[in-house]
């Protein structure tokens, strides 16, 4: 007998956050989150996303033991402003039992029905800066701090419950030395001269902060046309600025500005914290933060987290400037491998951007959809 319980207090929230720690215990590819950070992301008083969204969290129990979890999410900016009547769900983990996954999805469906929404899609988070997609290929590769990992049986559960593919995402990797720097060095000089552009490099986080709001504005403008995009609000900008920017190596953040110092493009790369997070096992203390600091300083793997180019400068070779900057930074830091965040399969422009690096698609992930009406 499966029972479903809604999370209503801090103790239950901790159980919700910690369930994957038992589900993936001893799995060499799963990357645990920091428990405190994960709990704060569901705190309606701390995470500004809740000014425009709501979530109900559920735990599935069988014989008194937790066997699954799910977050039922509605982003009202998406529903009201964009007219996309979508019931989101994410943080969806479960043992290999169809009754468990169905019981959790039925809870999500009931909420969607009560709000007269058209369909449900998952796994997704609150916004485009959250994790997305169930892994369907690449289970033998270590995860990242910005993606979900899952068991291979998850895909079968979605499909057995009548869900169909909504979006597919590719994850690619390449050697930092894969591209001949001659391919972008000359173009870098020509494009900067033609459009009167210059690069902003940083040595500390304080130098970056005055530019962060402009960066998120550009991010909103860059991806506004994507069907899955929900804009980042001013409150969220302030939240992400405080929580993440100061933790990213300043030398891994690159801005390109025009002659009037208006932002034209940006890119953010992060050191890979995967192995450090595995060692931390969800806790910053007593030694977790030391593992993270060591990775921040010495990791030879990096993740291309975000890249944005102002619409009027797209297809004008601005990436040559960005790649040229990173080539020199990576060479100085001894970076060996570059991993890209999940990118929509339909986004051919982004794939064209990386073609000179001979990327290898090592993972695929997917969101699934089911109509509610």
Sign of the C-alpha dihedral computed for residues 35, 63, 152 and 29 taken in this order: positive
Q: What is the pLDDT of residues 155-169, one digit of tens each?
A: 999 999 999 999 999
pLDDT exceeds 90 at position 356: no
pLDDT exceeds 70 at position 227: no
What is the pLDDT at residue 333?
93
How large a percentage of the chain has pLDDT more than 70? 99
pLDDT exceeds 70 at position 108: yes
What is the pLDDT at residue 178?
86
Strands 301-309 and 263-271: antiparallel
pLDDT exceeds 70 at position 211: yes
Quick one: average pLDDT of 88-102?
A: 98
pLDDT exceeds 90 at position 179: no
163 torsion bin: left (phi>0), alpha (psi -120 to 50), beta (else): beta
Sign of the C-alpha dihedral computed for residues 45, 46, 47 and 52 taken in this order: positive
CA distance 150 to 154: 7
CB atoms within 10 A of CB 181: 14
Q: What is the pLDDT of residues 289-303, one digit of tens each?
A: 999 999 999 999 999
**Bridge partners, residue 86, by sequence:** 119
pLDDT exceeds 80 at position 283: yes
Tally the C-alpha atoms within 13 A of residue 48's C-alpha that lie toward its C-beta.
12
Grade residue 363 by pLDDT with cuts at 50, 70 and 90: very high
The secondary structure of the chain, three-state, reads: CEEEEECCCHHHHHHHHHHHHHHCCCCCCCCCCCHHHHHHCCCCCCCHHHHCEEEEEEEEEECCEEEEEEEEEEEHHHHHHCCCCEEEEEEEEECCCHHHHHHHHHHHHHHHHHCCCCEEEECECCCCCCCECEEEECCCCCCCCCCCCCCCHHHHHHHHCCCEEEEEEEEEEEECCCCCCHHHHHHHHHHHHHHCCEEECCCCHHHHHHHHHHHHHHHHHHHCCCCCCCCCCHHHHHHHHHHCHHHCCHHHEEEEECCCCCEEEEEEEEECCHHHHHHHCCCCCCCHHHHHHHHHHHCCEEEEEEEEECHHHCCCCHHHHHHHHHHHHHHHHCCCEEEECCEECCCHHHHHHCHHHCCEEEEEEEEEEEECC
What is the pLDDT at residue 202?
94
What is the pLDDT at residue 194?
95
pLDDT exceeds 80 at position 224: no
Quick one: average pLDDT of 71-100?
A: 96
pLDDT exceeds 70 at position 310: yes
What is the pLDDT at residue 228?
66
Grade residue 230 by pLDDT with cuts at 50, 70 and 90: confident
Tokens of 184: 């972008």
What is the pLDDT at residue 44?
95
- Which domains, and CATH codes, for the chain? 2-168 (3.40.630.30), 174-367 (3.40.630.30)
Mean pLDDT, the chain, as a whole number? 94
What value, to the nearest 5°, has the Cα angle with vertex 149 and ends 58 and 15?
A: 30
Grade residue 67 by pLDDT with cuts at 50, 70 and 90: very high
What is the pLDDT at residue 30?
98
Grade residue 245 by pLDDT with cuts at 50, 70 and 90: confident
Quick one: average pLDDT of 91-112?
A: 98
What is the pLDDT at residue 293?
94
- Ranges 51-65, 92-106, 182-196: which has the least confidence: 182-196
What is the pLDDT at residue 80?
92
What is the pLDDT at residue 223?
81
How large a percentage of the chain has pLDDT more than 90? 82
- Ranges 52-56, 199-203, 305-309: which has the least confidence: 305-309
């Amino acid at each position: 007998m499966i029972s479903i319980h809604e999370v209503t207090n801090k103790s239950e929230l901790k159980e919700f956050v910690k369930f994957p720690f038992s589900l993936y215990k001893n799995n060499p590819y799963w990357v645990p989150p920091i428990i405190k950070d994960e709990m704060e992301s569901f705190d309606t008083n701390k995470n500004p996303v809740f000014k425009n969204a709501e979530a109900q969290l559920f735990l599935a129990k069988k014989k008194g033991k937790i066997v699954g979890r799910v977050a039922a999410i509605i982003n009202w900016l998406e529903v009201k402003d964009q007219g996309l009547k979508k019931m989101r769900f994410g943080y969806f983990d479960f043992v290999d039992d169809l009754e468990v996954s169905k019981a959790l999805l039925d809870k999500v469906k009931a909420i969607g029905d009560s709000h007269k929404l058209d369909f449900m899609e998952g796994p997704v988070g609150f916004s485009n800066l959250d994790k997305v997609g169930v892994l369907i290929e690449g289970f033998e590769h270590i995860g990242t701090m910005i993606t979900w990992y899952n068991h291979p049986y998850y895909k079968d559960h979605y499909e057995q419950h009548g869900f169909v593919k909504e979006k597919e995402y590719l994850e690619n990797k390449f050697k930092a030395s894969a591209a001949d720097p001659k391919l972008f060095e000359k173009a870098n000089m020509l494009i900067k001269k033609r459009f009167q552009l210059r690069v902003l490099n940083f040595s500390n986080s304080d130098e970056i902060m005055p530019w962060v709001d402009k960066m998120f504005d550009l991010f909103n403008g860059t991806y506004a046309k994507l069907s899955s995009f929900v804009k980042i609000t001013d409150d969220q900008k302030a939240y992400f600025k405080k929580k993440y920017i100061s933790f990213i190596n300043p030398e891994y953040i690159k801005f390109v500005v025009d002659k009037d110092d208006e932002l034209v493009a940006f890119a953010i790369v992060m050191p890979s914290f995967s192995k450090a997070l595995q060692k931390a096992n969800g806790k910053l203390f007593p030694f977790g933060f030391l593992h993270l600091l060591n990775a921040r300083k010495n990791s030879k793997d990096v993740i291309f987290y975000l890249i944005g180019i102002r619409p009027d400068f797209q297809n004008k070779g601005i990436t040559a400037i960005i790649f040229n900057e990173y080539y020199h930074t990576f060479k100085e830091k001894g970076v060996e491998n570059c991993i890209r965040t999940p990118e929509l399969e339909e986004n051919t422009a982004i794939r064209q951007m990386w073609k000179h690096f001979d990327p290898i698609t090592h993972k695929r992930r997917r969101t699934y959809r089911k109509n509610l009406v």
